[in-house]
Structure formats: C-alpha cells, structure tokens
C-alpha cells in the first residue's frame, strides 16, 4: 500500500537525505473516503523535496501521501481521522474499517523496520571501515507561509525563516554541527533576497528525527530541514523552476561543504 524507496549508492558517504512528506499517492480505499480534494492535500504535502533528497547518493523518498500514513508522527497519531488531526481540514474517517486502520498502522511499522534495516547496513559498512563519526541524516520538508490566501500578505519573516534547521531530541553536544550548516546557508543570495536560516524556529522537527536521535544517539545526527515555499505557489503547487534550481544548488553546495569538501 505505501510506496517508499530506500536508495543506498555509497556506503562510505556519511550522509543520508530523506523526503518522507513528498508523496501524493493514496490507496483507493482512502481516496474514496478522504473528503479532501487533491489540491487541498497537495498544499499540506511537501512537493519537490524528493528532488532535493535525490541530489545526494543515499536517500529515502516516500511516494505515498502523508494523508495515507504520516511517518513524521507517533504511531498512535500517524493516521488522520478527524479535523483536529490535520490543521482543522474537514476530514472524516471516524467510520473507517478497523481492518483498514490496522493495515495502515502496519505500514507505519514496516517503514520503520525498513529504516532500521537500511541504517543497520550502513552502520555495518562504516564499522567495518572503522568510521567513527556519526552518520548525518537530513530530513527534508517544506512549509506554507501564505495561509491567508494567494492575495494575502505572507506570514511575518520574524517567525518564518526561509530555511529552518530543527534539532529535535538531538544531544546538545552536536549543536555545533547544526550551527555549522546554518552558517553555510544563512545569508546566501536567493532571488532578490538573502536566505534567512535559523534553528528550531516554528519547526524543531517531528517524530522521524526524534526517533533517530533517540534510538541511535551515538551513531546518528538527524536534523529536520524546513524550506519555506518561496520557490513555488503553495496554493496551486506550481513550481518556479528558476528559483527551485537556485535553491537546489545553494543547498547542495552548503551540504557538500558541511560534510567534507573531499567527500564528493
């Protein structure tokens, strides 16, 4: 039911990128009783973040929608049942078949089992080569800043940086690593602005990064990265290709410098 890809192209590379909210697909059973249009769902999804993740050899992308199973929430909250579960949107699944609900929880469990297996294989390769530094994981997301409508003013910059680095449950001894990435991104030219990058503003990271930082505290540094949707129309999903390519290059260059200038 859930569609996800685990790509491991370089076991020596100390980086994995993920895009767990990039997908838009729903299974037929949920598409029938979702009560939300594809356009509304798309606005709350993180389109194009899978393209950013695939800039790097080791990446995990999810093609299924967060409206199927939200992998960035705890298991008990991973299926949206009522409006309170998803930003007040008029979703109504309170009469969902119990067997279908259990299948969705099972999909959640299977994804995390595959994630542990994927990382375990990377850890084995790194251990065999006596690599001691933690594996860096960047969990890529995007967020809306024009919820008042396409004609309304965007949300104030003060609380809505262009890029947010979330350090959910990360041991503070690794905060300097997050700060180095922030400095590599902050102030970089983008369109007619300079990137405003800050840590833990609005989005400190969700269950995915919390799980990894808690389960593998000595082996992983997982940061949640939130891109404000300044590269697209968040209401229609239309991409500004020029700005998107610029953001991709900006992010790629910063990450390459962050992990090691000799790695690529």
DSSP conformation letters of the chain: ---EEEE---TT-SEEEEETT---B--HHHHHH--S-HHHHHHHS-TTHHHHHTTSSSEEEE-B-TTT--TTS-GGGSS--SGGGTTT-----TT--HHHHHHHHHHHHHHHHHHHHHHHHHHHHHHHTT--SPEEEEEEEEE-S-TT-TTSPPPPGGG--SEEEE-TT--GGGHHHHHHHHHHHTT-EETTEE--EEESSS----HHHHHHHHH-TTTEEEEEEEEESTTB-TTT--B-HHHHHHHHHHHHHHHHHHH-TT--
Calpha distance 134→220 (Å, rounded): 5
Q: For the whole model, what pTM was predicted?
A: 0.96
pLDDT digits (tens, 9 = 90+) for 69-89: 999 999 999 999 999 999 999
Q: 33 pLDDT exceeds 60?
A: yes
At residue 11, the pLDDT reads 75
Calpha distance 173→177 (Å, rounded): 9
At residue 263, the pLDDT reads 45
Higher pLDDT, 118 or 260: 118
CB-based burial, 214-246: b 16+ in 10 Å, e otherwise = eebeebbbbbbbbbbbbbbebbebebeeeebeb
Calpha distance 230→183 (Å, rounded): 20
Q: How confident is residue 260, by pLDDT bands cut at 50, 70 and 90? A: confident
Read off φ and ψ for residue 54, nearest 5 degrees: -75, 0
Q: 264 pLDDT exceeds 60?
A: no
Q: 94 pLDDT exceeds 90?
A: no
Rg (CA), the chain: 18
Q: Show the domains of the chain with their CATH numbers.
A: 4-27+37-66+133-259 (3.40.630.40)
Q: CA of 20: how far to CAs of 1, 80, 125, 206, in Å?
A: 15, 16, 24, 11
At residue 262, the pLDDT reads 43
Q: How confident is residue 142, by pLDDT bands cut at 50, 70 and 90? A: very high
Q: How confident is residue 129, by pLDDT bands cut at 50, 70 and 90? A: confident
pLDDT digits (tens, 9 = 90+) for 161-196: 999 999 999 999 999 999 999 999 999 999 999 999
pLDDT digits (tens, 9 = 90+) for 188-247: 999 999 999 999 999 999 999 999 999 999 999 999 999 999 999 999 999 999 999 999
Tokens standing for 88? 């007040």
């Amino acid at each position: 039911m859930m569609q996800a890809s685990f790509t491991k192209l370089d076991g020596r590379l100390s980086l994995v990128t993920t895009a767990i909210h990039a997908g838009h697909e729903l299974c037929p059973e949920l598409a029938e009783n979702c009560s939300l249009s594809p356009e509304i769902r798309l606005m709350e999804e993180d389109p194009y973040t899978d393209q950013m993740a695939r800039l790097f050899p080791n990446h995990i992308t999810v093609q299924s929608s967060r409206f199927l199973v939200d992998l960035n929430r705890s298991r008990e909250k991973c299926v949206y049942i009522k409006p309170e579960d998803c930003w007040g949107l008029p979703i109504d699944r309170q009469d969902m078949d119990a067997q279908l609900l259990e299948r969705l929880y099972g999909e959640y469990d299977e994804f995390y089992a595959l994630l542990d297996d994927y990382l375990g294989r990377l850890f084995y390769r790194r251990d065999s080569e006596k690599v001691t530094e933690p594996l860096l994981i960047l969990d890529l997301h995007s967020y809306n800043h024009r919820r008042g409508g396409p004609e309304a003013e965007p949300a104030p910059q003060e609380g809505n940086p262009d890029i947010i680095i979330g350090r959910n449950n990360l041991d503070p001894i690794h905060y300097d690593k997050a700060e180095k990435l922030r400095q590599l991104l902050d102030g970089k030219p983008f369109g007619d602005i300079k990137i405003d990058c800050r840590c833990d503003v609005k989005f400190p990271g969700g269950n995915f990064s919390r799980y990894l930082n808690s389960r593998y505290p000595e082996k992983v540094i997982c940061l949640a990265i939130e891109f404000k949707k300044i590269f697209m129309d968040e209401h229609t999903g239309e991409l500004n290709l020029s700005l998107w390519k610029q953001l991709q290059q900006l992010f790629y260059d910063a990450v390459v410098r962050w992990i090691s200038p000799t790695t690529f």
